[in-house]
Chains A and B, each alone.
Chain A
Amino acid sequence: MAIAGMTEWFGFHGGIQLDTPKDLAAGSGLLLCPLSPRLIFPLLQRDGRNAKPRVTVGQRVLKGQPIAGGESPGQPFIHASSSGVIAAIDDRLLPHPSGLSGPCIVLDADGHDEVVEFAGVTDYRDEAPEVLAERLHAAGIVGLGGAGFPTAVKVRPDGVRVDTLILNGAECEPYISCDDALLRHRAAEVLEGARILLHILQAERCLVGIEEDMPQASDALTAALGGWNGDGIEIAPVPAIYPTGGEKLLIRVLTGREVPADGIPAEVGVVCQNVATAAAVYRAVVLGEPLLSRIVTVTGTGVRRPGNWLTPVGTPIAHLVEQCGGYTDRAERLILGGPMMGFALLSDEVPITKSANCVLVLTVAETAGRRPAMACIRCGACAEACPVELLPQQLYWYSRSDNPDRLAEYHLSDCIECGCCDFVCPSHIPLVQHFRAAKGRLAARRRERGQADQARRRFEARQARRQREQQEKAEAARRKKELLQRMSAGQVASPAQTGDLAEGRTASPQSRES
């Protein structure tokens, strides 16, 4: 990938160039989303467990008060993003690709926005890294790039030395510009967050990866940095090729290091955080403020006035879209996330969560008439586009024939579901959908096999136990018989003395025959 530029970067295989209609929302500046009268906090966490509620229905809570979660560093806190009364804790539609419902805490805001007292640290440099990590946990900070991994866990990798912090500002998906808006308006917060993260990680340098087509964000960062590079922070433009913003790919592009397929970035000495996470780290440590809001891009030809909105966590999407002037007549599909990896929502009643970076509304023209899939002609365009260098044409073949051994051999599990293969396929085969289904089947099979293994182990243990018992019994009977024979050969024993032996003899037919 030879692209001329100031910074030298490392290439990765494949990827695609997408038209990026980012200016749709990027021109709006940073808008403040007014408080919604009702806020919804789903309890489902990224590990599939539900956070435990810390409040009861009818209880009044303040803005910034923890209302659920926080049992362990892996279970982030959920805070009330405004003051009000807990109206309900019940099952509601979740912002989740499954379209299922799950438990949510519903808060009726009272409009006073009454805040608990926040207390930041006076100088983070005086604090021990583990104290600061604990603060991040208490502030409920998770990765804001989309995956939502608890930051407190990520900044304390066990037993490995991290030398490089990467801030991910490469919004490679079309339409999304929330990180761009953040960098333009709050570059100083991002950089201060980077310094705090460097201190927690005890890392030497920080690379802020932003796409080349974000010149204003780059300028804002450069201005905030003030030309001084003494703290090891460097702005690194990266090529605007989808999916450069994927964590492992960005690490490769910026450092040339390749994270093992089954491993995490810390194994190659890198920790990667989204730029918005860095800004949240700053607010948590310096201002003592929990993660209560985030910037969300609301865009697409299906909304009247696209824009970037600083939105309280828990705000229903319907409320947010209302601020954008509502839907256009042609609005057809509501997507949480970008057009490549986002998922379609059934309803706009679901709330904005910490990991929701974009609400995209597409019209019939953009979505309708997905042409019917035709047979794979094995052109290999998918393999050329795959950033992980898999062979989607082979994976497709083996996922259709449901061949788990071959799927493992061709590393189906390494697929990041970026959708590049789908996008370039001339036969319009929904490849990612096939791969997701195949992954699901493999997982189900693994579970079944695990259960079968367990059942088999139980059965074998029981067999072994019964065999042992029988052997012991036979052994006891044999010894008794021997004793009996010795006694009858030696001296005559009274029946009273051999009473217990008779019992043993009847219980063991073999010993009677011998």
Chain B
Amino acid sequence: MRFSTAPAPHIQPQASVRGLMLGVLAALVPGVAAQVWQFGAGVLIQCLLALIAALACEASMLWGRGRPLVPSLLDGSAALTAVLLAVSLPPVAPWWITVFGALFAITVGKHLYGGLGYNPFNPAMLGYAVLLISFPRTMTAWLPPTGVAAAQPGWAELLDWIFRLTPPIDGMTMATPLDTLKTQLGMGVALDQIRSSPLFGGLAGAGWQWVNLGYLLGGSWLLWRGAIAWQIPAAFLGTLFLAALIFFLAEPASFPTPLFHLFGGATMLGAFFIATDPVTASTTPRGRLIYGSLIGLLVFVIRSWGGYPDGVAFAVLLMNLAAPTLDHFTRPRPFGRQRR
């Protein structure tokens, strides 16, 4: 009897790219829910806008490059990029901000480099950085969290703000806690006084602390499932905590507590969902530790002395550049070989 042949192994792999991406999307749910709770339904509108723009762009890029549409569209990577970008944007950002960011992320950040797996930079963060540099005013106009604002805007108001061409009126929006901290410290206001504002909660920025807890929860689930390596979040958060602790102890009047850094801004989103992007991160165990901890350090440096209130996007992009070199110099010792 004759048989068809194929190379070993002869049993099917269990995991899939799609499964991984959908797992990460599912893990985003608690964080996004907290964001909706604190900043209103605008977050969902941004997600939807980004998803539509990213998937349409992905489809047209694939078509233009003559690649099969279905496997790549269904692998969930473009959707993940869209959601990561959308949750980084102010909930009332005008529609064209979101659409432009998503298009830039997918086109320049991903397909111009050869598509999924070949991009050196995290596409969502590339999109975010381009928006932040190009439209700094719009990008820093956040809504105050629930409890600080009298009431969250309704659907009609949100849609009106997002889909009109002029930016929302200043009175409706507010700087983020990190932004406020940076501006006021710069003006010589004492830290105690700044922190007594209603914009600050027990752990970190009001509202933001809940969002960070949500992402921490989802991220822990990813860790527990083994979907992401522990080294990057652990090194990121550990280094950020240590750096913040040292400066806080040295000068408590002008440096906020380490907890403020851990549960403020985009820390948890960055540590579990952005820095862990497999394509653009380091892939060796030791490389991941260095990669994560340098991101943590850069976040602290940019927040404390940089020109922008938060530094996760820039820190990640800068370390994306270093990832290939880190990988090369942190190769593990193969079995039966002497350590170099």
**Residue of A at shortest CB range from B2?**
A347
Number of interface residues of B (CB under 8 A): 40
A414 and B8 form a contact (CB under 8 A)? no
Q: Which residues of B contact A360 (CB under 8 A)?
A: 10
Complex CA gap A394/B327 in Å reads 9
Given known pairs A345-B5, A391-B332, A414-B334, the reply for A378 and B278 (CB within 8 Å) is yes
Contact B5 A366 (CB under 8 A): no
Q: Please provide the chain A residues from 327 to 385 with a CB less than 8 Å away from any CB of chain B in the complex.
A: 327, 331-335, 337, 339-348, 360, 362, 366-367, 370-372, 374-381, 383-384
Please report the C-alpha to C-alpha distance between residue A248 and residue B336 in the assembled complex, in whole angstroms. 9
Q: How far is the CA of A130 from the CA of B128 in the complex (A)?
A: 75
Complex contact B284–A383 (CB within 8 A): yes
Within the assembled complex, what's the spacing in Å between the Cα atoms of A384 and B283? 10
**Contact (A333, B8) CB under 8 Å given A327-B1, A380-B229:** no
Q: Would you call B13 and A423 a contact (CB within 8 A)?
A: yes
Partner of B6, one of A12, A344, A380, A383: A344
CA distance A258 to B335 in the complex (A): 7
Q: Which residues does chain A contribute within 8 Å of B8, judged by CB atoms? A: 335, 337, 339-344, 417, 419, 432
- Closest A residue to B68 using CB positions: A372
Given A371-B12, A380-B278, A423-B11, 18 more A-B residue pairs with CB atoms under 8 Å apart are: A12-B335, A261-B336, A332-B4, A333-B4, A333-B6, A339-B11, A344-B6, A344-B10, A347-B1, A362-B10, A367-B6, A377-B278, A394-B331, A422-B9, A423-B14, A426-B20, A428-B16, A436-B7
- Cα(A90)–Cα(B263), bound, Å: 77
User: 27 A–B contact pairs at CB < 8 A?
Assistant: A12-B335, A18-B11, A99-B5, A174-B11, A252-B335, A261-B337, A327-B1, A332-B3, A333-B3, A333-B5, A333-B10, A334-B1, A343-B5, A344-B3, A344-B4, A344-B6, A346-B5, A348-B3, A360-B10, A366-B12, A380-B229, A380-B284, A383-B284, A390-B334, A391-B284, A394-B331, A419-B8
Known: A344-B5, A380-B278, A419-B8. Contact between A375 and B332, CB under 8 A?
A: no
Q: How far is the CB of A203 from chain B (nearest CB, A)?
A: 21
State which of B2, B11, B331 has its C-beta within 8 Å of the C-beta of A366: B11
Chain B residues contacting A374 (CB-CB under 8 Å) are 17, 71, 75, 116-117
Cβ distance B124 to chain A, nearest Cβ, rounded Å? 15
Whether A422 pairs with B13 at a CB distance below 8 angstroms is: yes
- Cβ–Cβ contact A334 & B283, under 8 A: no
Contact of A339 among B4, B9, B20, B283 (CB under 8 A): B9
Using CB atoms, name the residue of chain A closest to B71.
A374
8 Å CB interface, A294-340 against B: 318, 327, 331-335, 337, 339-340
Interface contact A377-B13, CB-CB below 8 Å:
no
> What are the residues of chain B within 8 A of A425 when measuring CB–CB?
13, 15
Which positions 274-305 of chain B face chain A at CB distance < 8 Å? 278-279, 281, 283-284
> Is A387 at the interface (CB under 8 A from chain B)?
yes
Whether A381 contacts B10 in the complex (CB less than 8 A), given A410-B331, A411-B334, comes out as no
B19 at the A/B interface (Cβ < 8 Å)? Answer: yes
Q: Return chain A residues, CB-CB under 8 Å to B117.
A: 374-378, 427
Q: Does A153 contact B (CB under 8 A)?
A: no
Q: Are A377 and B279 in contact (CB under 8 A)?
A: yes
